[in-house]
Amino acid sequence: MTASILITGCSSGIGYHCAAELNKLGYNVIASCRQLHDVERLNNQGINCIQLDLSCSKSIDRGLKQALVLANGQLDMLFNNAAYGQPGALEDLPTDALRAQFEANFFGWHQLTRAVIPLMLQQGHGKIIQNSSVLGLVAMKYRGAYNASKFAIEGYTDTLRLELDNTPLSISLIEPGPIESHFRQNAKHQFEQHIDIKNSRHQDAYQQTLHRLGTANPNNKFTLGPDAVFKQVLAIINSKHPKARYYVTQPTYIFGFLRRILPTKWLDKLLIKSN
């Protein structure tokens, strides 16, 4: 039987690339998107796609039911990928904006994962892949909401790995640095929607943030295409015993190493300069 995999956040970027490539390889891919027009676009391309909004509990339940029909009742893998970034200094961030960040980047993942685990346990196998970030390892200024959501995913996944130790299920983290996607455009929209730039003490720094988020092609030699993440997804799929963590891009390797060896003050200085 062809292995089935549910992938969230497939309208563009990492999710779309992984869904398209796995579909080409013959996997039973069930992609999901938040917007109906994206669902229709992927279905027209021959990729099974359902509508699933991770910030809506009813949408998650409805989407999973549809996914299980397309997977003939057996879901071999779940790739939690859908997320967005809410930029801005934490002191300027409305609490509702932080709640929305966690609904999409954390609580929605939990609801979907919690619903999938009993199914995987009943069938006797299953793999869960969590797309985290280098910002789940180290923090950077003006990314506090996203930092917090990814730090939460790191702790959540580490705990769940321990709790699944005596089962046939595995859970792995993928931790990318900068990847080509629509992430910046989406983050710019959230920034302009929730942050009062003119009345912030950070307004000068915010101009740099707007410039960075408005740049279609970042001038960053470390930025890789989504294929770099796909290679790690494929490594997990093909492994009998997947690792706990898979780093992607040079910044993740660098900061993952520096976090272990440097005093906090030294690491802070590097992170401030790299912002």
146 is catalytic: yes
d(CA 45, CA 47): 6
Predicted confidence at residue 155, as pLDDT, reads: 98
Predicted confidence at residue 274, as pLDDT, reads: 79
Predicted confidence at residue 39, as pLDDT, reads: 98
Catalytic residue among 146, 206, 246, 247: 146
- Give helix 108-123 / helix 57-70 axis angle, nearest 10°: 30
Strand partners, 245: 173
3 state SS of 43: helix
- The DSSP symbol for 176 reads E
Locate 100 and state its tokens: 């929305």
Using 50 as the pLDDT threshold, list the residues of the chain that sit under it. none
Question: In degrees to the nearest 10, what's the CA dihedral of 34, 36, 37, 39?
Answer: 70
pTM, two decimals, is 0.94
Contact predicate 19/47, CB 8 Å: yes
> Taking phi first (over 0 means left), then psi (-120 to 50 degrees means alpha), and beta for anything else, what does residue 73 get?
left
